Copies of this chain bind each other. A is one copy, B any other.
């Protein structure tokens, strides 16, 4: 077995977030469901951007945010994601590397450009995301470095990137490599994956044993399983994954391993400014504690602390000293 020189490697969207504030009417006029994520075509992205207020650009991407958090929590982390050879791609790469996250996915030289996510934050701190995935969805299995996957204790896969075919193939290949090397595969659900007929494919992948550690929020697991009762959701999913972690917003979080269930309340937050990245940082905190050998309850608590930090300010990348906050 290759020795593990990395704690974690993630595969996900490589995009730059563009944050702007708006009022509820702006969302309503466009028929955007608050708190949702939708994909945009090039034309839709151009039109929405033109209508938006002034933006603040911060590197984003769900699993990439998790890796930024993992690095801030002291893990050795790597990220695999596709950017183009352009200014936003250079910004994304700089922001990853400056946090100490290994990022070496070869650039694509041709269009599409580096992806971006237009994030509209309403006065109630909710974020509504419109993603122009751009280069991010051009990730193929050929971009993977098998040695990198084998060298990491955990391979972390992002639900948002599960939709398009080639990135899905890359993630399945990464899971295969990781399992062949005796590593853990983690997967984080996204709402869009769990709706309609699509959920059957995701359930099939989970039932096939691809995922050892599954992250999701309450709404996602309800949609995915089709269960009305939360206890039933938990039971039906926990049969197929060694560790199931479900966040419940203000109601805290729950984790299940076989017959052992742990629940914790949410960490207190003085003022919620922007909920973008809450789930991403919860996963980062959970995984950081896990890679440091902490028990299940401590993993949930660290996730909760990291999520509380991220929702107290704009943007989905940590600003405070997370390692200090989490006591890791």
Contacts and interface: CB of A to CB of B under 8 A. Distances in A.
A88 to B, nearest CB: 5
A104 to B, nearest CB: 15
Contacts of A58: 56-57
A53 B71 CA distance: 13
Interface string A64-80: 00001000000000000
Interface residues of A, number: 24
A131 interface: no
Interface in A64-108: 68, 86-88, 91, 94-95, 98-99
SS class, residues of chain A in contact with chain B: mixed
Contacts of A99: 53-54
Interface of A: 20, 49-50, 52-59, 68, 86-88, 91, 94-95, 98-99, 113-114, 315, 317
Contacts of A54: 59, 68, 94-95, 98-99, 317
A258 B46 CA distance: 51
Contacts of A59: 54
A59 B53 CA distance: 12
Contacts of A315: 56
Contacts of A88: 87
24 contacts: A20-B98, A49-B94, A50-B98, A52-B94, A53-B98, A53-B99, A54-B68, A54-B94, A54-B95, A54-B98, A54-B99, A54-B317, A55-B91, A55-B95, A55-B98, A56-B56, A56-B57, A56-B315, A57-B57, A57-B91, A86-B86, A86-B87, A87-B88, A87-B114
Contacts of A113: 87
B50 A94 contact: yes
